[in-house]
Structure 1
Amino acid sequence: MYFSKKIINWYKINCRKLPWRETKNPYYILVSEFMLQQTKISIKTIKSYLNFIKKFPNIKKLSQAEEKDVLKEWEGLGYYKRAINLHFFAKKLRKKNKTIDFFPKKYKDLIKYKGIGPYTGAAIASICFNEVIPAIDGNAYRVFSRYLGVDYDLTLSVSINKLKIFILKMMDYNHPGLFNQAIMDLGSILCKPKNAKCLLCPIKSSCFSFKNGTVYEFPVKKNIIKKSKKNRFFYYIFIYDHHKNLCILNKRFSKDIWKGLYDFPLIESQKKLTINEIRYNVWKQFKLNFDTVIYKIKHKLTHQILLIQFLNCEITKKNFYNNKYLEKFLFIPYEKICEYPFPSPIILFLKHEKMI
C-alpha cells in the first residue's frame, strides 16, 4: 500500500496531460495504445490520435472504412501493421456483433486479437474495466527492476512472469488503471534509462537501486543480440502520362516493409547500380526511357537502410499500356494522388515535386 499510494499521489500532481486520459472509452484507449506501440508520445502522435478519432469516432465507423483510408490517417506514424491490426479488430468485432457496440472487457479476451499483446491488453482491461492486472512496458520493467533490485534477465518470459507476481502484490486493487498509468509516467518522467531524476522520485527512500547506487545496472538484459543493418537499393520509376493525366502506383501486398501502403513501380537491387544498369533494368521491364534521377534519399529503418533513387521516366511507345507487366499497377489521376497512403520516402518525394 505504501508503494501504490506514493506513486498514485505523485501521478495525480505530475501526470502528463494527454487527450486519451480524459476518457475511459475503451475504443479511444485502444487507438491510443496501438499508436504508442513502439512510438514515443509526441505532439505529432497526439495530433494523429485526435485526427484519427475525428475521422473514425467509434468501432462501427472504423469497421466500415476502407483500408486505404485507415492507412492514410495513420500516414507518418510508421509501423503500419498496427493500423492494419486495429482495422482488423474493428471489423471482427462488428462481424460478431452487428446490432450492438460490443467491446471485450477481460484481458484474456482482448489478447486473442492480432496486435493486442500482453501490455496493450492489460492497459485497456485495467484502465477501462478496472481489472487488476499489471501493464508492463519498457518503463515498467525499468521502474520495478530498479526498485526491487531484480537481478535476473528480463528478456526471458519466465523472468517476466516472476516479476508480475511481485507487481501484483504491490498494485492498488481499487485503482489498477491509475496504478498502471502512474508507473508509465514515473518511468517516462523520472526513472529514465539515462539521466534518471532519482532525487525527485516519490519512492526513492525504499528503492533498492537508489540506496545501493546501482540505478544504471538495471534492468538486466543479457540475451540481447544486436542485428547488423543491411542495405537495400530501391530505384523507383515515376511515370506520369501528361496526355492522359495519369500516374502509375503500386500497392504493396508482400510480407515486407510498408505492407498495405502505396508506392511507385520499383526496381530493387542488392547492390548499387550504375546509370547504364538502371537504364537497362528500366527498359527491360517497362520499355521506358528515363532522362534523369530526380531525387535521392537514405531512409533508415530498425534493421535496414534503404538507399532510394527516383527516376523520371517518359512514355515513348504508343502501345505502352498493352504491356502485361503493367496489369498489377494502378493508374491514378494526378489530382487524386494525395488520397493514397504512402511511406515517408514517397511523401518526401511528392513534396519535393510539389505534388502534395
Structure 2
Amino acid sequence: MDFSKKIINWYKNNHRKLPWRENKNPYYILVSEFMLQQTKVSQTIKYYSDFIKKFPNLEKLAQAEEKEVLKVWEGLGYYKRAINLHYFAKKLREKSIGFFPKKYKDLIQYKGIGPYTGAAIASICFNEVVPAIDGNFYRLFSRYLGIYNNITSILTKKIFRTLILKMMDKKNPGVFNQAIMDLGSTLCTPKKVKCFLCPIKIDCFSFKNGTIYKLPVKNIIKKSIKKRFFYYIFICNNSNKFFIKKRFNKDIWKGLYEFPLIESEKVLTLLEIRNKIWKKYKIFSKNIIYKVKHQITNQILFIQFLNCKMIQSIQIKKSLNNFFCISYKKICNYPFPNPIILFLKNKKII
C-alpha cells in the first residue's frame, strides 16, 4: 500500500471531529482557516461556533460593521485576521452574491490568504491538487524522508512542494491534506511523538534511524523582545461616561478601542506619569488602580491603569477631541484588547 493510501485510511478511522469538517462549505473552511492561523484548534472551536452563529454566511459577514466582527473575535488575538476576513467578504459581495473563488491562484490574491490557507480551501472544498504545507507537513516529511535541509529556506520549501505533490493522492487532495494535518497534530508532534501508532512508521527514515527529535532542521534568527510601557487613563465625566477611541495606526490592536493612553519607552514614576497626563490631556491623575503584563509576538507590554479626575474645561475638551464618550451599558458593544477586558472585569464594569 502506498504512502497516500496509508495516510487516508488512517484518517478515515482517526480524524479529529471538528465543526468545520461537517461539510465542505467553503465559507466554514475559510473562517476556520483564518482562525487557525496562530491559534490552537482547542481554542479555535468555541470562537468558530460563536462566529458562525453571528455571521452564518459571507453575505451576513459583508453587511456587518468592522466593530461587530472584532467584537466576536475579541480575545482570540491577531485581530488583523478578522479585518482581512471581513475585507474578503466585502470584496466578494462587490462581485456578486454567491461568488466564491475556487482556484488556489485566485484565492491567494486576497489579503490574509497565504499559500497554506489558499491551498487548504482549494483542496478541501474544490478538490484542487495542491498541498497545504504548514509546520505539520515540514515536520512529518522531514522525518519520513530524512530531509536535513533548513525548512525556512526558499529552496527547501520548493523541494518539499515538489516531493509532496508527487506523493499526495490526486483523487482526494483535500482528505490527504487534512490527514497530514491530523497526523502531525496528534502523532508526529514536536515532542512526545507516538510513533508506534503511526501508519507509516515502517518506511519512516527517522523511526528506523532514531532521529525523530533531530528533524526538522529549522534555523531561525530570534528577534529581540521589545518592551513597551502603557499608561491608560480611566476617566469618567459628570454623566458617568468614559472616554474611548478606535486604534487606527499600523500597530498592535488595530481596529480595537482603548482609553486615553500615555506610552513610554521606559518605566515611569507616578510623578512622571501625572506630569505627562497633565501635559497631554490637562487631566489630574490620582492613583494606579490596576496593573497587568501582556505578552504578544516579540513584545512585552507593561500596562497600568490610572484613575483620573475629570475637570470640565475647554482645554480638556480639546485634548480629548479624538475620543468619544460611552456609558457603562454600551461598553459590551465595543471590542477591546485583552488587557483592557481584564481591567474592566476586575473593576466589575463588565
Under a length normalisation based on structure 2, what TM-score does the superposition of the two structures give? 0.98
Alignment of 1:126-145 (within 5 A): 126-145=123-142
Supply the distance in 1 between the matched residues of 2:323 and 2:20 (Cα, whole angstroms): 39
Runs of 5+ in structure 1 lacking a partner?
none
**What is residue 30 of structure 1 aligned with on the other side?**
30
- Structure 2 equivalent of residue 9 of structure 1: 9
State the distance in 2 between where 1:193 and 1:247 align. 47
Within-5 A mapping of 1:199-348: 199-222=196-219, 224-241=220-237, 243-319=238-314, 321-323=316-318, 325-348=319-342
Is 2:281–2:316's contact at 8 Å kept on the other side of the alignment?
Answer: no
By how many angstroms is 1:6 displaced? 0.8
Q: How many residues align?
A: 350
Q: Which moved more, 1:103-112 or 1:213-222?
A: 213-222
SS at match of 2:326: strand
SS in 1 for 2:292: strand
Further displaced range: 291-300 or 314-323? 314-323
Partner of 2:72: 73
How far apart are residue 320 of structure 1 and its match?
A: 5.5
Instruction: Report the alpha carbon displacement of residue 139 of structure 1 after superposing the two structures with TM.
Output: 0.7
Which of 124, 132, 150 does residue 147 from structure 2 map onto?
Answer: 150
Cα distance in structure 1, aligned partners of 2:49 and 2:200: 34
In structure 2, the partner of 1:51 is 50
**Equivalent in 160, 163, 166 of residue 160 of structure 2:** 163
- d(CA) in 1 for partners of 2:313, 2:82: 41
Deviation of 1:321 (Å): 5.0
Q: Secondary structure at the match of 1:91?
A: helix
Deviations 1:56-110 (CA, angstroms, capped at 9, x unpaired): 111111111000000000001000000000000000010122xx31000000000
Segment drifting more, 308-317 vs 121-130: 308-317
Rate the CA distance shift 1:180–1:124 in 2: closer, same or farther, 3 A: same
8 Å contact 2:168–2:176 — kept in the other structure? yes
Task: Give the Cα separation in 1 of the matches to 2:75 and 2:327.
Answer: 23
Is the 8 Å Cα contact of residues 230 and 262 (structure 2) preserved in structure 1? Answer: yes
Structure 1 consecutive aligned stretches of length 4 or more whose deviation exceeds 3 Å:
317-322
Please give the root-mean-square deviation of Cα atoms over the aligned residues, in Å: 1.1
Tell me the percent identity: 69
Name the SS for the 1:327 alignment partner.
coil
Code of the residue aligned with 1:355 in structure 2: it is I
Instruction: Describe the SS at the equivalent of 2:320.
Output: helix
1:92-149 deviations in Å (ceiling 9; x for gaps): 010122xx31000000000000100000000000000000110011111101111011
Correspondence 1:55-204 to 2 at 5 A: 55-97=54-96, 100-204=97-201
1:196 partner amino acid: V
184-193 or 277-286, larger mean C-alpha shift: 277-286
Which has the larger displacement, 133-142 or 213-222?
A: 213-222
SS in 2 for 1:293: strand
| Superposition TM-score, scaled by structure 1 size | 0.96
Partner AA of 1:22 in structure 2: E
- Counterpart of 1:273, as a letter, is L
Shift of 1:291: 1.7
CA offsets per residue over residues 155-190 of structure 1, 9 Å max, x none? 012211111111111111111100000000000000
Q: Is the 8 A contact 2:282 2:316 kept in 1?
A: no
Q: In 1, Cα distance between the equivalents of 2:98 and 2:19?
A: 22
